[in-house]
Amino acid sequence: MSYVLNGGPRKVAAETAERIHQAVAQLGYSPNAAARALNLGVIETMGLIIHDITNPYYNSIAATVQRAAEQHGVSLITASTLEDRSKTLSHLEAMEARQLRGVIVTTHMFPEAVRAATRMRTRIVQLDSLDPIPGVPRFDMDFEAGSWLALDHLTGLGHRRIAFVGGQSPVDVRIGPWRESHRRRGVDPGPLRVVPYTREGGYEGMRDILADEVPTSVFAGSDLIAMGVLRALREAGLRVPEDVSVVGYDDIPESEFAAPPLTTVRVPIEKMARDAVEAVLDPTAISDSDHISAPALIVRASTAAPRRTP
Amino acid sequence: MSYVLNGGPRKVAAETAERIHQAVAQLGYSPNAAARALNLGVIETMGLIIHDITNPYYNSIAATVQRAAEQHGVSLITASTLEDRSKTLSHLEAMEARQLRGVIVTTHMFPEAVRAATRMRTRIVQLDSLDPIPGVPRFDMDFEAGSWLALDHLTGLGHRRIAFVGGQSPVDVRIGPWRESHRRRGVDPGPLRVVPYTREGGYEGMRDILADEVPTSVFAGSDLIAMGVLRALREAGLRVPEDVSVVGYDDIPESEFAAPPLTTVRVPIEKMARDAVEAVLDPTAISDSDHISAPALIVRASTAAPRRTP
């Protein structure tokens, strides 16, 4: 059946195609997309621009966007900026030139790219992307609410000064709630390190903190950073969570397999990706405004009450 | 300068373009690609078809291919089959229809896709892809040699019966050397579990083995599988490498951050990817035959001599 939808090499009689279309419509596929794919003879394609194809968070987004697009009979191609924001514009232009069905952008954008995007004919939708493009639907999560979930979990366990190892892109939005959490409790903020969003960044940042002090808890700006934090603590002979509690952010697949399994903030990628694909393929279905999703706390084995005076 | 190479919105005087071309040529970019990009007004693009965009091994390939392509002034778009081999053909057709500069295929292919590929005008190159397409350059690694590196490392440490937790795609080529290693030493093979190439697959496979026996060593068909093996051993209260040694395959980035850091077989992705890109962009540079690279053993902390009678 995918052959008919994809318009592959096999020819299909008109009557058969009609029956398949009906079945497809009943299954919840978009009949427009399926019909268009049949007419074109080649499967329709939409684009996705991600920040870094080696970052599992973006890979999860890509897989989820792809599954949602394929539900509509549309295939997905992905372009990565490899963390170089300036490439977003040339990727957008290349996709515009190839007349894709639409493009989902997850990367941060320079003003120049934002201006160019507003002039393009290709349908553009933003997903987890700062730097809003005027008139473009944007799907994002509530970073502030997610940060409070992590911080309140740690303070609820009895931690007072919380270390923060976060990213630089250009500034980690989780730093605000982290500062505010200490201020409200009348406590001096714990140590802060701003590092790249990588395992290596988390590792170096945590080693640097440990050279000065051993905090009772660490809030990492991403799970990838948390993987490096865990390694630095392990190498220093510190046990998690007995000596130090660690909370991550994103809930990437490897977090459940970490030693110990990581407590983290789950981003509702599934729903955001489905909605973003819907907004690309059916512009009337979704309003051209900001859609903000709420994150959830996933408690695993990397957090516990402090055993030392926090 | 990237603007001139990408042929972005800004217009460049012919004289300036010529000077830039010279500079570009000196910097080692392909002047043909740069000139073509200038003429087209949009950066040239090549394609990459990968097995699974959530598998870090393929993400490393994608990042490496992209860096190599960008050295030639060509951008990369990636399509994933999400482990469904039948999608390779529709991805190939979509890329052929969009007149990409060429396509690197890493996925296994059904005979139908192989036949279709031989008829396409688009330049196709295979990278770590079984099912050779006649007349197409293929870059692969010596899986057998890599397996022997892992097996000889374990037997050299004194391990006798080695467990194997490997993948199904359609059959793990590492099983042959694993069997042969036991046969040559006159030892009954250790337990064997065939699982998906995922962390979950490795976890379930290892739990299943531990229900019967505790081997002194495990050879995992991929690092992703090894991550699941490590988790299952950890949950069973077994220490690595004191109680059980584990060797992986691939050397994905998270292996260095595992607990303990994973001994594994490193695939020379960098060189293979650069050569494959070269073969796409300059068909005269590389012969249309098989190019097989040699892997290397990376010894970290997950392997040691057995403390129990092996």
Closest residue on chain B to A1 (Cα): B86
Co-location of B70 and B36 in the same domain: no
Nearest CB to A227: which of B203, B234, B254?
B254
**Which of A93, A97, A253 lies at the smallest CB-CB distance from B54?**
A253
Domain harbouring A69, CATH code:
3.40.50.2300
Same domain, B91 and B164: no
> What amino acid is encoded at B175 in this protein?
I
Please tell me the predicted confidence (pLDDT) of residue A131: 79
Q: Is the pLDDT of residue A39 over 70?
A: no
In chain A, residues with a C-beta closer than 8 Å to the C-beta of B255 are: none
Do B58 and B81 lie in one domain? The reply is: yes
Pair (A260, A217) in one structural domain: yes
Show residues of chain A in contact with B87, CB under 8 Å.
75
B307 located within any domain: no
Establish if A249 belongs to a structural domain.
yes
Test A59 with B60 for CB contact under 8 angstroms. no
* Residues A80-96 pLDDT 10s: 999 888 899 999 998 98
Q: Record the pTM.
A: 0.85
Residues B103 and B206 in one domain: no
Give the pLDDT confidence score for residue A310 in this predicted structure: 55
Q: What average pLDDT does range B18-22 have in this prediction?
A: 49
The sign one gets for the Cα dihedral B148, B150, B154, B157 is positive
Within a domain: residue A155?
yes
- Mean pLDDT, chain A, rounded, equals 86
β-pair type (A192-194, A163-166)? parallel
Which of A98, A117, A136 marks a domain boundary?
A136
pLDDT at B32: 40
Position A307 in a domain: no
pLDDT value at A139 more than 50: yes
For the cut 60, the answer to whether the pLDDT of residue B2 exceeds it is no
Decide if A24 is inside a domain.
Answer: no
- Res. B8 pLDDT band, cuts 50 70 90: very low
Q: Please tell me whether residues A151 and A255 are part of one structural domain.
A: yes
Res B169: pLDDT: 61
Do residues A70 and A54 both lie within one domain? Answer: yes
Do B191 and B235 lie in one domain? The reply is yes
Looking at residues A268-280, what average pLDDT do you find?
92
Looking at the fold, whether A234 and A198 belong to one and the same domain comes out as: yes
Residues 230-249 of B with CB under 8 A from A: 230-231, 234
Q: What is the per-residue pLDDT across A49-58, written as a single tens digit (0 to 9) for each?
A: 999 999 999 9
Torsion of CA B262, B263, B264, B268, to 10 degrees: 100
Q: What is the pLDDT of residue B290?
A: 84
For residues B118 and A148, which has the higher predicted lDDT (pLDDT)?
Answer: A148
Across residues B247-272, what is the average pLDDT? 95
The reply to whether B37 touches chain A by the CB within 8 Å rule is: no
Share of chain A above pLDDT 90, in %: 65
B180 and B223 together in one domain? yes
pLDDT for residue B12 is more than 50: no
Query: Does residue A183 sit in helix, strand or coil?
Result: helix
Task: Give strand pairing partners of B104.
Answer: B48, B125
Q: Which of A3, A50, A59, A204 to mutate to test the interface with B (most CBs of B within 10 A)?
A: A59
Q: Name the residue facing B228 among A75, A79, A257 (closest C-beta).
A: A257
Q: Which of B48, B55, B77, B238 to mutate to test the interface with A (most CBs of A within 10 A)?
A: B77
DSSP class of residue A250? B
pLDDT at B18 over 70: no
Residue A42 confidence (pLDDT): 62
Neighbours of B158 (CB within 10 A): 14
**Which of residues B55 and B83 earns the better pLDDT score?**
B55
Overall number of domains in chain A? 2
Residue that wins the pLDDT comparison between A8 and B249: B249
Give yes or no for residue B267 having a pLDDT over 60.
Answer: yes
Is the same domain home to B30 and B59? no
Q: Using a CB–CB cutoff of 8 Å, tell me whether B123 touches chain A.
A: no
Does some domain include residue B222?
Answer: yes
Q: Do residues A60 and A117 touch, judged by C-beta distance below 8 A? A: no
| Residues B36 and B49 reside in one and the same domain | no
Is the per-residue pLDDT at A1 higher than 90? no
The answer, for A203 touching chain B at a CB cutoff of 8 Å, is yes
ipTM over 0.95: no
Contact residues on chain A for B62, CB-CB shorter than 8 A: 53-54, 80
Determine the longest span between alpha carbons in chain B, in angstroms.
77
The answer to whether position A242 is within a domain reads yes
Range(s) of the domain holding residue A224: 143-267
Q: Is residue B287 part of a domain?
A: no
Instruction: Write out the two tokens for A164.
Output: 């923060």
CB contact at 8 A, B278 and B126: no
Name the domain boundary from B114, B136, B158: B136
